[in-house]
Amino acid sequence: MRCPHCRAPLHETEDACGRCGLSLERLDAMLGVAPGLGGIVADRAGIFSTADRRRLSRELNEFHLTFPQLRLTVVSVKEVPKEISLGVYSFWLFNRSDVVRQMDAEGRNRDLLLTLCPIHHRAALMVGYGLEPFVGARHLDAVLAAGSSFFQARQFAAGVLTVLDAMHSTFKALAEGIPRAFALSEPPEPLARSMAEVALDY
């Protein structure tokens, strides 16, 4: 992974970034105790209507049925301290809130967190260590770019749905490319699914 502040390479076992010194402990001192999110849609900023929350929950559940190895949580935050970026705040929230299940710590972590900040009209996307061998920065940037115009227009529900569609296409393409990465040319469909499952268990 990379440091969310300076983008230097950062291994999951390191306590702090060797370049800028960012650490979860320093963020804890600045931000206090992380809030409990309690659900796949945690609208702490109140940007979604009741109908929006119902639709987002429904679409997220459909996403989880399609990709049962993954778990995506959407959270809106009221504000982010001026001295840190939304990406850094999302990194802290991902690691300190109840987004990550204890059983899926470290290399088996396939959780994702989409953080929305209505004040700055921005979004950040975090992925767990278990997805990093397959999902790169370019994938995350492209997924977020799909919803950026909606976020800028404060159409947050539409932005999340657009991001979700982009994630679906991205992960489908990644799963289909896994057999090729293992030098399996045109494998039968059950084998392709099997290899995708093995790779996601990396």
The strand pairing partners of 76, in sequence order, are 43, 116
Where are the extended beta strands (E) located within the chain?
41-43, 71-76, 111-117, 122-127
Per residue in 106-126, pLDDT (tens digit) is: 557 789 999 999 998 889 999
Q: Is 126 helix (H, G, I), strand (E, B) or coil?
A: strand
∠ CA 69-73-78, rounded to 5°: 165
> What is the band of 186 on the pLDDT scale with cuts at 50, 70, 90?
low
Where do the domains of the chain lie?
35-175
Helices (DSSP H) in 3-152: which residue ranges? 24-31, 50-66, 86-96, 137-152
What's the pLDDT at 179? 56
What's the pLDDT at 183? 52
Q: Once rounded to an integer, what is the mean pLDDT over residues 33-57?
A: 93
User: pTM above 0.85?
Assistant: no
190, pLDDT greater than 50 = no
- Put residue 183 in one of left, alpha, beta given phi > 0 → left and psi -120 to 50 → alpha: left
187, pLDDT greater than 50 = no
The mean of the pLDDT values for the chain is 83
Q: Is 112 helix (H, G, I), strand (E, B) or coil?
A: strand
What's the pLDDT at 106? 56
Specify burial of residue 64 (Cβ count, 10 A radius: 0-12, 13-18, 19+). middle
What's the pLDDT at 151? 94
What's the pLDDT at 147? 95
Comparing 180 with 167, the larger pLDDT belongs to 167
Per residue in 72-104, pLDDT (tens digit) is: 999 999 988 888 899 999 999 998 988 876 545
Per residue in 4-40, pLDDT (tens digit) is: 888 887 776 777 888 888 889 999 999 999 888 878 9
189, pLDDT greater than 70 = no
Specify burial of residue 132 (Cβ count, 10 A radius: 0-12, 13-18, 19+). middle
CATH code linked to domain 35-175: 3.10.310.50
